[in-house]
Structure 1
């Protein structure tokens, strides 16, 4: 049974087909009202201060959930349409690029420690998890958390 997570409020849920009732509409979040849920192959437990970014198959940002502003200083409107790695300044040392690998190979990339550049230009280390979309639209879910010190 597929697992789903809300990119906005981080609530997890189960669903057998990812559709709302008998319609062909995607399931929205019953808790916060966000327009869609992201399907995961395995259950995922995000840290309390994790922010989610949803991207299309070209890695352009479609939505930024709660927690992204707190981590980055960027509002959702400032991020929309930009390539995720460049928009968040995470492209400097990521070789190979975990976002590209997740989309191209359809595999998760977990626990990637990357530098993130905030809106104010400050660089800080984060832990990022990359999840490919398994639907016809393709795409990517990126979970960003502050890096744990001492690890």
Structure 2
């Protein structure tokens, strides 16, 4: 049974609880316009920023914890290319965002770095990338900062 995750408030809901009848349905908790389908159980940490992009990697939604993690207000993120705006890098096996968009696969637990509000300091993090399973494409990035010891 698929699980749906609201990118705005991180509320999780099972597909059986949504009563979806071949039409998109928003978050039943906060009312945001859509929920992101995950094909298996996934729990976002309170420290995880949830960011939704289109297939050209432009940021569409900067939701749950995005400001706390990135230092940017949503208005400062919308429309910008994801990796350029956040300074995403340091991927050990290539860009997981590109892989997810190209192959339509989940890419989980990828060590990476990003930059807080454009600073010069690389912050260690873990990225989880989930492709959109709809006609529009795109993806959900779950970016969780890690301590220098990896925790």
Same fold (TM over 0.5): yes
- Alignment correspondent of 1:15: 15
2-side partners of 1:36 and 1:148: how far apart? Answer: 32
Alignment deviations for residues 65-105 of structure 1 (CA, whole Å, 9 cap, x no partner) = 020100111011111111111110003x3351110001111
Whether the 8 Å CA contact 2:126–2:146 is kept in 1: the answer is: yes
Aligned residues: 148
TM-score by length of 2: 0.89
User: Is 1:125 matched up with 2:124?
Assistant: yes
List runs of 5+ in structure 2 lacking aligned partners.
Answer: none
1-side partners of 2:147 and 2:71: how far apart? Answer: 19
Superposition deviation, residue 120 in structure 1:
5.1
2-side partners of 1:11 and 1:42: how far apart? Answer: 15
Superposition deviation, residue 123 in structure 1:
2.5
Partner of 2:141: helix, strand, or coil?
strand
RMSD: 1.9
2-side partners of 1:97 and 1:60: how far apart? Answer: 15
TM-score by length of 1: 0.89
Moved over 4 A (4+): none
- Alignment correspondent of 2:6: 6
1-side partners of 2:141 and 2:147: how far apart? Answer: 18
Whether the 8 Å CA contact 2:85–2:118 is kept in 1: the answer is: no
User: Is 1:108 matched up with 2:72?
Assistant: no
